[in-house]
A = this chain, B = another copy of it.
Amino acid sequence: MSMKQGLRIDNRDTLHLKVCNVIREAIIRGDFKPGERLKQSDMAEQLGVSRMPVREAFRKLESEGLIILEPHKGAIVKSIQVEDVAEIYALRAELERIAVEQSADLLTNDDTQQLSYLADQMETAEDVDDFVQYNIDFHKLLIKRCNWERLNTFITTLWNGLPQQTPHLLEGQTEMSNKEHRAIINAIQNKEKGKAGKLVAEHIKRTGEKLINSLEKEGQS
């Protein structure tokens, strides 16, 4: 079994999986607006496949909470209220705390170096979009070594739960986040997993509250 170089067949995923991924990305990117109706036939035609893989993709996306499927009616993109944001951040705080506690001891030196690197990048990031991407990588890396499968899927579901187009709302609070990131890294390097978890939870809670504040202000205007 040599598998020397990259002469691999493009992608051995099944079709409905590819379809699912494409649609998921589109929804998270915001290409399909909340409340928008998604038709199997249109989607199938656009992607150049039959309706079947689209149907299966829709089922999966429903289970991930990205769309709602009503019998005989079809799929609509789920829309997000402020209360959803509150829920997502509250749950993220608790679940990622647990995940970090599981993961912390198993992080390699490479991992912690990578964490520092990402913190550097965030501190010197030019625009907010970059910051957001590094931030995502940072949080994903923190829990990378957590072996609890259910926990991981729950967290991913929450991450996918809100379209990633809110970065501008985080403006002007990056300094605080950067401080907290450093504190988290410290705790991990000192093998204080309990503390690391606690810091992560507080960090998420705080950013959640900030985000909700911004949303409510924006709603009023």
Interface size on A, residues (CB 8 A): 31
Q: Could you tell me if B14 and A150 are in contact, using CB atoms closer than 8 angstroms?
A: no
Question: Whole-angstrom distance between the alpha carbons of A152 and B127 in the complex?
Answer: 37
Q: Is A158 an interface residue (CB 8 A)?
A: yes
Q: Which of B63, B65, B154, B161 contacts A60 (CB 8 A)?
A: B63
Instruction: Give the distance in Å from the alpha carbon of A60 to the alpha carbon of B59 in the complex.
Output: 7
Residue A214 at the chain B interface, CB threshold 8 Å = no
Pair A88/B150 contact, Cβ less than 8 Å: yes
Cβ of A63 and Cβ of B63 under 8 Å apart?
Answer: yes
Cβ contacts under 8 Å, A148 to chain B: 87, 91
Please state if B65 and A150 are interface contacts (CB–CB under 8 Å): yes
Q: How far is A83 from B147 in the complex, measured between Cα atoms in Å?
A: 10
Q: How close is A91's CB to chain B, nearest CB, in angstroms? A: 6
Residues in chain B near residue A150, CB distance under 8 A: 65, 87-88, 91, 157-158, 161
Nearest B residue to A87 via CB reads B148
| A91, B14: Cβ atoms closer than 8 Å | no
Q: Report B-chain residues with C-beta under 8 Å of the C-beta of A17.
A: 71
**Shortest beta-carbon distance, A47 to chain B, in Å?**
18
A128 to B158, CA, bound (A): 37
Residues of B within 8 A of A59 (CB): 56, 59-60, 63
Q: How far is the CA of A157 from the CA of B157 in the complex (A)?
A: 13
Per the bound structure, the CA–CA distance linking A95 and B93 in Å amounts to 11
The distance in angstroms between the C-alpha atoms of A88 and B63, with both chains bound, is 19
**Alpha-carbon gap, A5 to B14, bound state (A):** 48
Does any Cβ of B come within 8 Å of A43's Cβ? no
**Which residue in chain B gives the minimum CB-CB distance to A78?**
B149
B contact residues around A94 at 8 Å (CB):
94-95, 98
Q: Which residues of the partner chain B approach A176 to less than 8 Å between Cβ atoms?
A: none
Bound Cα distance A63, B156 (Å): 13
Which residue of chain B has its CB nearest to the CB of A153?
Answer: B65
- 15 A-B pairs with CB atoms under 8 Å apart are A14-B71, A55-B56, A56-B56, A59-B60, A59-B63, A60-B63, A65-B149, A65-B153, A88-B150, A90-B98, A91-B98, A94-B95, A150-B157, A150-B158, A150-B161
